[in-house]
Structure 1
């Protein structure tokens, strides 16, 4: 991941270019900022046309939202994805949109009461912030700056102290508070020097068991220095795009598991200097961490591959009853793995807390371990009224 780990001085802060372009895009539609997307029309009926026209996306992450979810939309813009998610999660759910652009926030906040009246409940709020810093509420900081203008180095130090206080005492998005993070063609707009922090923040705010569903522009090759130094290409969702494999690696390094490329457009959206830029949607999950206990459980990988290896380095052979710890057993029963395995519970539940051996490496589970504690009986089909065979 050469490009991802580099800190490129020339794009250390691209916010002003992005704010200017998307501020203009909030007032007048700019076709160059979006890809054609088919949304579920049932959710668009109540959304005003001015929001639909100002949608600058490359996918539909709202289709991964479920009833009752707490949803966080990174780079919510005019609010279209938030207003769709509002209808899906229902009155028991909650939707939070984060954006830094004044004009986009004005639009989304003005339309929010209209949507609430039409659906019959208010479950959407929009916060001013940077998606790579989900602790600092910029509205709270602006209120403080209005009373404490920065005019000297000492004032700057006091402002930095206030930013830390706001992040700690008034955290915009608390730890482990979100069920699903969505984002639509925004992550690429963050400078390379802050992308790692952005993925770490995503991991921080997700609940254990939470998931990420982000649509973004990715490239098939590294963008050159000259492309990265072009502010219009950066704000146009091109030169800030991660390479398609780097996107997976960035999620893995942040601590996510089950990373899955759920959508990959074969036709490039743009080609610049021979580099293809296209839309892709990535899914990822939080919750693989924790102690490993022995419960005599096993999983059987169905195939079709001879073997597969998971994010923790476990190798599962096709058709083999594989011994796993209770944490891994429960993890594999959830998405996105459940359809890949058969799950074998022990004949007698293990209630003791026993550490899993072999550093949690996978081995063949002897059936005698699964049957431990169960009487050895012989079933005689002839004793039944009807034989099953």
Structure 2
């Protein structure tokens, strides 16, 4: 896909995401990918948008006085968690290209007063960041690098290497492909902004890190369930499997024969009486008499609409990536 088109779609999607998601949903997603109750209790309201695919801080080993840079910082979730770890003598810097996300992050920072004096948000593309070389002790990122067009991904790792001090480390959570994605999936913009279509494979990640000059590279599948994006309802509870009459089984991930369990509508809940989608209603999958209660028009639902086409765990996984600049 054309890089300009990708960036425009990513900006549009994450501008919508910057308006927020139900806090119960965001908290449940964060817990699914490794954040503790204590961490979630210490973040400012509105910083967690439910967009994580891991917890990079769990492998970053951040110390007081360090400078940490978060690539694609969004509303500042990981930046605000890093802030007390680096302390008043350290710096927590978020880099993002999206004005709406930066506005939300800076608004949250302002609400924290002097407690966020060590926090800075900078506008920039993570392939070319407006920061000095040898600035950071640690660079983190959470489910963002997969959104960079394939031909530009090596630039992210070269920029990361440039910004790190000697001995500095990379601690990234990202979604990687377990196998080659079919062209139909790669060219699906909805799957792209949903962090699936733009995923790279482990060997590619390792190659780019080595070419940039990193050593001590460790890339590990966390085995986290990526279908959490589909299975967790907006109130933070796990959805029940619905919409599939027992007498009408369909192949997993198939939309042509009806709705599979993973392709069920985000509106499904135990109390709703649903009907399986017809061939003419594949986009929504299920119908309900009470559309207001269904809450089908949120950003969360839009994300599920994009991802509900496939069983995510079959194609991609949540990985933690660690490397060192010598």
**Does 2:281 match 1:242?**
no
Q: After superposition, where does 1:250-269 map in structure 2 within 5 Å? A: 250-265=208-223, 267=225, 269=227
Equivalence map 1:280-319=2 (5 Å): 280-287=319-326
* Range with bigger deviation, 205-214 or 43-52: 43-52
Q: How do 1:302-341 and structure 2 match up within 5 A? A: none
Q: Deviations over 1:74-133 (max 9, x none)?
A: 00001010000001111111011001112111110011133344x3x5100001110111
Q: Is the 8 Å Cα contact of residues 219 and 275 (structure 1) preserved in structure 2?
A: no
**Contact 2:226–2:313 (CA under 8 A) maintained in structure 1:** no
Q: Which residue of structure 2 aligns with residue 41 of structure 1?
A: 37
Give the greater-gyration-radius structure (CA): 1
Name the counterpart of 2:46.
Answer: 50
Contact 1:46/1:115 (CA < 8 Å) preserved in 2? Answer: no
Q: Which residue of 1 is the match for residue 109 of structure 2?
A: 112
Match of 1:133 among 128, 146, 158: 128
Retained in 2: the 8 A contact 1:98–1:126? yes
Deviation beyond 6 Å, 4+ runs, structure 1: none
When the two structures are superposed, what TM-score results if normalisation uses the length of structure 1? 0.57
Q: Do the aligned partners of 1:94 and 1:123 also contact (CA within 8 Å) in 2?
A: yes
Please give the secondary structure, in 2, of the residue aligned with 1:49.
Answer: coil
Corresponding position of 1:98: 95
Q: Give yes or no for contact 1:47–1:115 (8 Å, CA) kept in 2.
A: no
Q: Which residue of 2 is the match for residue 201 of structure 1?
A: 159
Q: Structure 2 vs 1, CA of residues 205 and 60 (structure 1 numbering), >3 Å: closer, same or farther?
A: same
Partner of 1:25: 17
From the superposition, tell whether residues 220 and 48 of structure 1 become closer, same or farther in structure 2 (CA, over 3 Å).
Answer: same
C-alpha deviations, 1:255-309, integer Å up to 9, x for none? 100001255216454755995211111000001xxxxxxxxxxxxxxxxxxxxxx
After TM superposition, list the pairs within 5 Å mapping 1:126-275 onto structure 2. Answer: 126-134=121-129, 172-265=130-223, 267=225, 269=227, 271=310, 275=314
SS at match of 1:285: strand
Q: Distance in 2 between matches of 1:194 and 1:215?
A: 18
Q: Which has the higher contact order (CA 8 A, sep 6+)?
A: 2
How many Å separate the matches in 1 of 2:102 and 2:224? Answer: 33
Q: Give the gaps of 5 or more residues in structure 2.
A: 228-306
For 1:255 and 1:97, the matched residues in 2 are separated by: 23
Count of residues paired in the alignment: 238
Give per-residue Cα distances to partners, 1:241-262, cap 9 Å, x unaligned.
1112322222112110000125
Partner of 2:317: 278
* 5+ long unaligned stretches in structure 1: 1-8, 135-171, 288-389
